[in-house]
Structure 1
């Protein structure tokens, strides 16, 4: 269950047999608000599932999807769609005041329980907003579901459940204890579902839903990990200490560890079993930096031309670097004011060097994050790095990532990774083995003769980011004063 579509697939082992999807509508009733209608979620699920030719042969149903939603429901499935009001989505920013009040009340213990201090998008604050602004809807709510996948499981089985991954994102859980955190529940009065393991059976398909979906009644239903962890399972399989990087418009570096290891800036999420924890650090701008450079700096050249230019140059070797912070940065510490910087450009600097500098600048962020997220001892020390996402389709960029990180880079297939990850949870719930790692499509070894220049450029960029932070904040104040920007 994504934000823009519901995808349904038939999966045999780790192999995707067929896929169908149906669109979803996202609404913004007011600035900063984001909502979806749960009835539309279910209609999309039915539409996509009915389009699968072999759906009648499946042995289980499993759901994953967007995390950290507020979905208030009442009654039981069959009594209408059950939704008290439209779902308030993970990205909704309406509960800033309620969050501030909760943060003042709960103090640092809240962050200790959640493994990170919750921000204003947390579900606890959204529930407080509902209580304060829509008291009739809050009073009508029997249970709050915490994501679109939870709503699908509830409609299919009548069971109100939450997987441990999603629970960890809500600001409502004692994450390590895998339970709801008493102080925040007491402070908000929120009616919560049961936390059910992602590889356990949450319930069984009702006869009415079986007829709607075209599956057999009584099939086991599994509430898999939320989408971030499901995608990671689809890429990494069951492997520990095998890192991967995702290069979309934004991106991240993630690795499964055998235990929770909270560190500054690292998001820690429960995985499919008690001995699998995903450590992940996000990158605000990855492929988005290349898109900006080719459209703005290089005269709107096409992707293939930009890629060819970047492949033909070695920017660090010419003393040219790019600080990839076009959308602010989250590393080494959050700075919403941070900006992109092209440094070292001279009159002789050509388009190819600029393109290469952007690829290398994003790779520098990946390298720095990988050194934090990936364990630096044992067999994984300086281990290879799997890469996926749209940016990973570029041979030139994969090669640059290998050069900058000093790691062997493997381009892997991420086709429907979240669906494979969800299927893996269902396989284990049925007594089978989890899916394996995604298929390796190409391998890129680091060019050692470029390492010294890249390492030196990494030090330059790190120093630049720190020294320019006050100037970035001043630039933000200038934009705000001129009406071009609102300060966070």
Structure 2
């Protein structure tokens, strides 16, 4: 059976054709992020639709017979985004994205004792989550707030465009702060705290459930032989977990994507909000997970490539060819603030301890190590919550770099494994969920391991010492105010 997985990411949309476990083809289209003010991060959902259409148009052009045979579509999506619709289904404003930090002040309203937020939602209030964004809209854009008929996450909006249904899966809904994560249902008290009610939410489904069928106009446009069923799907991390077969308690993976994730599948709801560890529903029924999240993982390397004027590949190659020098420096990857373990939207990152001998290769190496140290921070946070991870698979664009994978293994002191198809893990997971929605058979095999990275003893010892020094950067950066802009008259 052929299934289609569509992954709506931050940097682009991917569409993957899967035939009984074999990947037939992948199409991709890029997206841009708008940052109109410091700390803001938005996208126009119309761009999501354009990119999705571009992907399916490409698949139709190159693989028309395989696309025509698709029986089910699964969706994966960037989490937390606030996509606001009016009564007519029209968009009210651009989507406020997961890495938007404007709602830090509104988080306090959700942390009052009577709401029991951390017990119900399993997470602390963070600006990245959806609920504080709606409090910000209510305060700063009251005309928009008054017109809200539906609040959708990005992939739920894409589902609405595809099949006209308002539905959301448990894993993605967990990132709103409106879900009672243990009970897998919307929480009326948490919604009411934001001036909303369940009528403004999509209905909840499990990731393997069918939610509707593709509308006829799109069936005709892309040449499907019959209208494919559309599965509940998953938030991007849960989709990645399904893609690598991390569906049983104890399974773990590291995602080196735009953001960074350290994931551990759990058999029950295990909140540990005091260390900013996330406890979410899995896309698989009766299953949950814990994860640590950093906001700028591979995004840090993308930023540095843009600033330096070199491609990411060229920067990595330069480090590979350059020995460590006396110009070594530090990098803190807090470009958009940080989640685990700090829950701090205001802190900012940067290079520190630069000298006249510091080279571009030194700075790139510091960046790779800084991201790895942040993952170690997350690992320790999960460990303090009782979740011990001894090895993990690797997914995400950063996992294509052997240098970065080895650095991660050395810093974390545990084996890490590159797996087949890891760069398309979220789209693959979405396609796997689509297959279940169509035929009811749950087959989430682990992909073949291509290469394993064992920690090198000498380097691991070096990083053990360096990590305790790197941890001091957060406290120092937290104390620095943001530079004030020059007045326009200056």
Fold agreement, TM-score > 0.5: yes
Aligned match for 1:220, one of 229, 252, 258: 229
Q: In 2 relative to 1, CA 295–112 (structure 1 residues): closer, same or farther, beyond 3 Å?
A: same
CA distance in 1, matches of 2:352, 2:32: 38
SS at match of 2:423: coil
Q: In 2 relative to 1, CA 172–87 (structure 1 residues): closer, same or farther, beyond 3 Å?
A: farther
- Contact 1:254-1:281 within 8 A present in 2 as well: yes
**Equivalent residue, structure 1, for 2:454:** 445
**Equivalent residue, structure 1, for 2:73:** 61
Equivalent pairs counted in the alignment come to 463
CA distance in 2, matches of 1:15, 1:217: 21
1:36 matched to 2:47: no
**Equivalent residue, structure 1, for 2:332:** 324
- Contact 1:420-1:435 within 8 A present in 2 as well: no
Q: Over residues 15-66 of structure 1, what are the superposed CA-to-partner deviations in whole Å (9 max), with x where a residue is unaligned?
A: 321233455566667773624245x544544443243312211111222223
1:271 matched to 2:279: no
- Higher Cα Rg: structure 1 or 2? 1
For structure 1, which segment, 388-397 or 179-188, has the greater mean C-alpha deviation from structure 2 after superposition?
A: 388-397
Q: Provide structure 1 residue ranges, at least 5 long, that are not aligned to the other structure.
A: 76-81
CA distance in 2, matches of 1:134, 1:376: 38
SS at match of 2:319: helix
Q: In 2 relative to 1, CA 216–404 (structure 1 residues): closer, same or farther, beyond 3 Å?
A: same
What's the TM-score once normalised by structure 2's chain length? Answer: 0.78
Q: In 2 relative to 1, CA 304–245 (structure 1 residues): closer, same or farther, beyond 3 Å?
A: same
CA distance in 2, matches of 1:277, 1:158: 29
What's the TM-score once normalised by structure 1's chain length? Answer: 0.78
**Equivalent residue, structure 2, for 1:417:** 425
Q: In 2 relative to 1, CA 350–277 (structure 1 residues): closer, same or farther, beyond 3 Å?
A: same
- Contact 1:145-1:161 within 8 A present in 2 as well: no
Cα offset for 1:108? Answer: 5.2
Higher RCO (Cα < 8 Å, 6 or more apart): 2
- Contact 1:95-1:125 within 8 A present in 2 as well: no
CA distance in 2, matches of 1:445, 1:104: 42
SS at match of 1:166: helix
Alignment of 1:299-378 (within 5 A): 302-309=314-321, 312-313=323-324, 322=330, 324-325=332-333, 327=335, 329-335=338-344, 336-337=346-347, 339-340=349-350, 358-373=367-382
Q: Over residues 429-478 of structure 1, what are the superposed CA-to-partner deviations in whole Å (9 max), with x where a residue is unaligned?
A: 2212333234422222222244433323333333x347xx2x4344326x
Q: In 2 relative to 1, CA 306–119 (structure 1 residues): closer, same or farther, beyond 3 Å?
A: same
Alignment of 1:122-161 (within 5 A): 122-127=129-134, 143-161=149-167
**Equivalent residue, structure 2, for 1:79:** none
**Equivalent residue, structure 2, for 1:404:** 411
- Contact 1:241-1:375 within 8 A present in 2 as well: no
Q: In 2 relative to 1, CA 308–294 (structure 1 residues): closer, same or farther, beyond 3 Å?
A: farther
Q: Provide structure 2 residue ranges, at least 5 long, that are not aligned to the other structure.
A: 1-7
Aligned match for 1:174, one of 158, 177, 180: 180
**RMSD of equivalent CA atoms:** 4.1
CA distance in 2, matches of 1:353, 1:44: 37
**Equivalent residue, structure 1, for 2:393:** 386
Q: Over residues 255-290 of structure 1, what are the superposed CA-to-partner deviations in whole Å (9 max), with x where a residue is unaligned?
A: 222222222221222112244323221234445666
Cα offset for 1:332? Answer: 3.7
**Equivalent residue, structure 1, for 2:85:** 72
Q: In 2 relative to 1, CA 59–182 (structure 1 residues): closer, same or farther, beyond 3 Å?
A: same
Q: In 2 relative to 1, CA 216–329 (structure 1 residues): closer, same or farther, beyond 3 Å?
A: same
